[in-house]
Amino acid sequence: NHFIELQRDAEDHLWIMIHSGSRNLGKLVCDYYNEKATVLNRHWYSSVEPEKQLAFLPAYVPEFHEYWREMEYCTAFALANRKLMMNRIMEVIADTFAHTEFEPMINIAHNYAAWENHFGENVVVHRKGAVRAGLGDIGIIPGSQGSHSYIVEGLGNPDSYMSSSHGAGRKMSRTEAVRCLSLQEEIARLESQQIVHAIRNTSDLEEAAGAYKDIDEVMECQSDLVKIKTVLFPI
């Protein structure tokens, strides 16, 4: 579900949206410290049952600070990846269309931890598949290949720890999508909207529009978390 997509807004401005991150590096760091935490939790006789898979590192142990530094490195590495990808796309567009002007990039991470204050306490908020939606924060909420996406502004809802979803979210696993969706129907869905796409084979159904939830329903359900600034339509 990592992608590069060209989109347009209601005023026919061109938008470039990228979804990419640290990829395997972030996963390696996560797995490494999760294993360390699992061993240490057994050593400390933690009251959290191992089958819940919620092993933790207290903030006062060296492993916590090591993990934090490496997590921040992975977040910075992910941003460097996106900047490089964005710069190359901008070069191609500028070479194709004369006198193109670009606005500054909006950057959002959706898998990270941050020290924040909520309900009068300093806590670590871990956003996994979520983005910060503090009052005035600008966010990105993608739909799917066949539906629109949104640029939003956070409302700072304290009950969500000032967070919102980072996308439509899947309604089918990748395996289920390949098994259940029709290749012809998914291609027709995109081509009826004149969307240029790369769905060619059954394996591509993993990321077909039909595998994702209705983005409008998702946005309606979080109308108390963000307000819509711009609607983007896939090209």
**Contacts of 229 by beta carbon, 8 Å cutoff, 6+ apart:** 138, 150, 151, 152, 153
Q: Residue count of the chain, please give it.
A: 235
Write down the residue that tokens 């049952």 correspond to.
49
CB count in 10 Å sphere of residue 124: 12
Catalytic residues: 166
- Angle, in degrees to the nearest 10, between helices 62-96 and 24-43: 170
